[in-house]
Amino acid sequence: MELKLFFGLIGLFLYYANNVSCQYRTKSSQSASLAERVQQLTDMAMKRPVIKFNGAKFKEFVKTTPRNYSVIVMFTAMAPQRQCQICRHANDEFTIVAHSFRYSQSYSNKLFFASVDFDEGSDVFQMMRLNTAPVYMHFPAKGKPKAADTMDIQRVGFSAEAIAKWISERTDIQIRVFRPPNYSGTVAVSMLLILIGGFLYLRRNNLDFIYNKTIWGLGALFFTLTMISGQMWNHIRSPPFIHKSPNGNVAYIHGSSQGQFVLETYIVMILHGAVVFGIILMTEAAARKGDVKKRRIFAVIGLGLVTIFFSLLLSIFRNKTQGYPYSLLFR
């Protein structure tokens, strides 16, 4: 009886020892696997700040646990047949942020940038239930992505500065954006100055056009229409040209007063220009002397232009600012 008890205790000891050994080997294997994945990501990031993932790599480096690093993934569709008009611009801004992080003092192997193209990882799009592009998502080191881990590009745009700010909010990693030098503006201004200087030199004996009020008035009017339409906001925020919804509809006007599309600014500029043209017609009809019937026609046309196009402007403002109570001809 004592012998059986002795062998039973030995067997129980060997069982627990084997179980502990298996758990230790499993943990060691997981640690080794994690270290290998981090090393592979680091090597790929050294060659290319934005790592390209297909379905297999996405599952290996993003979905596999455990992880001690975060991944910012851009889901895009760069192929021309996909007709994603803003994907290339969004990719350029995303690349700027990745390069800025790669050469910043805060660079570490705790954050990686990756992209998944629809033609190379359609299974990933299905897995994430995505039917539009571009989409920026943050996959944290621990836990699953939350709603805030998907960047709202319709509200904040997708400029490099906006992406860096969103990353800072999700990861507490500060990224200072360094844009590559762009000399196109300097070259364009230099060419314009050379052309103006050459034109003035050729017309040096007849510079009366400089004192032409109409030319200066048209220049001031164009500058004013450009500014009030939101072109400077476009330059700062880099919004999309239009928005294509998942159901295939195309939106030309942003639904919020906090955002706008590039095409929307052109529409607003044209509407303001039509209102100004109507006011000019009414002013000229009242100031000039001559045929009363002709002046009356100009005044009526001008009044019609002001009424119709100002009503359209008011309707756009009403739709973008929910709760605004006033309208004229159109709701």
Give pLDDT, residue 31: 44
pLDDT at 113: 93
Q: Is the dihedral of CA 72, 78, 84, 87 positive or negative?
A: positive
pLDDT score at 12: 52
Number of other residues whose CB lies within 10 A of the CB of residue 278: 22
Assigned domain for 118 exists: yes
Band the pLDDT of 25: cuts 50, 70, 90. Answer: very low
Segment 133-142 mean pLDDT: 90
Mean pLDDT of 267-275: 93
Residue 8 confidence (pLDDT) above 70: no
Q: Which pLDDT band holds residue 116 (cuts at 50, 70, 90)?
A: very high
117 shares its domain with 234: no
CA angle 304, 308, 268 (to 5 degrees): 130
Residue 246 C-beta-side C-alpha neighbours within 13 Å: 5
What gap in Å lies between CA 74 and CA 64, rounded to an integer? 18
163 plus 218 within the same structural domain: no
Q: Does residue 215 share a domain with residue 167?
A: no
User: Which pLDDT tens digit goes with each residue over 200-236?
Assistant: 787 777 777 778 888 888 889 888 998 888 888 887 7
152 and 65 inside one domain: yes
Instruction: Check whether 88 has a pLDDT greater than 50.
Output: yes
125-129: list long-range contacts, CB under 8 Å, 24+ apart: 125/75, 128/75
Range of the domain at 236: 208-320
Average model confidence (pLDDT) across the chain: 82
Q: For tokens 């319709």, what's the residue?
A: 154
Segment 115-131 shows an average pLDDT of 88
Report if residue 191 sits inside a domain.
no
Element (H, E) at 237: helix 231-237
Question: What's the average model confidence in pLDDT over 67-95?
Answer: 87
Is the per-residue pLDDT at 180 higher than 80? no
Identify the pLDDT of residue 215: 84
**Pick from 1-15, 54-68, 138-152: least confident:** 1-15
Q: Total structural domains in the chain?
A: 2
Nearest to 67 by CA among 45, 44, 43, 41: 41
- Which pLDDT belongs to residue 245? 63
The predicted structure's pLDDT at residue 189: 82
Q: Tally helices (H) and strands (E) across the chain.
A: 11, 6
Looking at the domain assignment, is residue 267 inside a domain?
Answer: yes
Domain boundary among 110, 142, 171: 171
Asked, for residue 188, whether it belongs to a domain, the answer is no
Tell me if 288 is assigned to some domain.
Answer: yes
Residue 20 pLDDT grade (very low, low, confident, very high; cuts 50, 70, 90) = very low
Let me know whether 217 and 160 are in one domain. no
Domain assignment of residue 70, yes or no: yes
Closest residue by Cα to residue 330 from 271, 281, 289:
271
Neighbouring-strand partners of residue 71:
112, 139
Residue 24: its pLDDT value, please? 37
Prediction pTM value: 0.56
- Reported as a single tens digit per residue, the pLDDT across 275-323 is 999 999 998 888 777 778 888 888 999 999 999 999 999 998 888 887 7
The whole-angstrom separation of Cα 104 and Cα 68 is 20
Matching residue, tokens 């000019």: 280
Q: Mark whether 35 and 104 lie in a shared domain.
A: yes
Quick one: 161 and 292 in the same domain?
Answer: no
Could you check whether the bond before residue 246 is cis, i.e. omega within 30 degrees of 0? no
Q: Are 269 and 221 in contact (CB under 8 A)?
A: no
- Token reading at 50: 């934005």
Q: Are residues 162 and 31 in the same domain?
A: yes
Both 227 and 111 in a single domain?
no
Residue 231 lies in a domain: yes
Domain annotation covers residue 200: no
Range scoring the smallest mean pLDDT among 25-29, 112-116, 244-248: 25-29
What is the model's pLDDT at position 178?
85
Is 27 in the same domain as 153?
A: yes
- What pLDDT is stored for residue 270 in this prediction? 93
The pLDDT value recorded for residue 247 is: 62
Counting every residue written for the chain, the total comes to 331
One domain, residues 214 and 273: yes
- Here the tokens at position 140 are 């944290």
Instruction: Among 154, 171, 188, give the residue marking a domain's end.
Output: 171
Whether residue 35 is found in the same domain as residue 82: yes
Q: Which of 171, 187, 220 is the last residue of a domain?
A: 171
Residue 242 has pLDDT above 90, yes or no: no
